[in-house]
Amino acid sequence: MPREIYAYKCRRCGRLHYPYRMVCKNCGENEHNEFDPVPLPKTGTLLTFTELHNPPSDFEVPRLRLGIVELDGGIRITGQLEIGEPRIGMRVEGEVGVVRTEGYDNRYGVVFREA
């Protein structure tokens, strides 16, 4: 079953937030549970990227590719990249998978590939 990353839509003004925040950034009117989870689109454009040569100690790989993607619709997200030669402006497509393992816990996030 494919997993989703959710944005949070304010029930009063419709503004989308990612990640979650307690009070709507636009109207400031709602109580914290007045958000509807909305799955984020999986496609977008690569805004910027980096290849991290010193990843945190629990990553057993020598390098980690990270990027910020502007998803279709305007929400931006940080994610890992499985792209050999990333370029600013490249079209990318994401999939939710395990991005980090802390002890026995798996953390799920988006990994982007070239679209």
Interaction site with other proteins (CB under 8 A): 18-20, 47-57, 59, 62, 64, 66-68, 76-80, 88, 99-100, 107-109
Shortest gap between Cβ of 114 and other proteins (angstroms)?
Answer: 18
Q: Tell which phi-psi region holds residue 80, choosing left (phi > 0), alpha (psi between -120 and 50) or beta.
A: beta
Minimum separation from the CB atom of position 11 to other proteins (A):
20
Q: Which is nearer to other proteins, 64 or 115 (CB)?
A: 64
Q: If 0-12 CB within 10 Å is exposed, 13-18 middle and 19+ buried, where does residue 59 land?
A: middle
Laid out side by side, the sheet with 16-17 consists of 16-17, 6-10, 35-39
- Residues facing residue 51 across a β-bridge: 65
Nearer to other proteins, 80 or 83 (CB): 80
CB of 82 to other proteins, least distance (A): 12
| Tokens (6 digits) for 91 | 């079209």
> With respect to other proteins, which residue has the nearer C-beta, 23 or 66?
66
The CB-of-49 to other proteins minimum distance in angstroms stands at 6
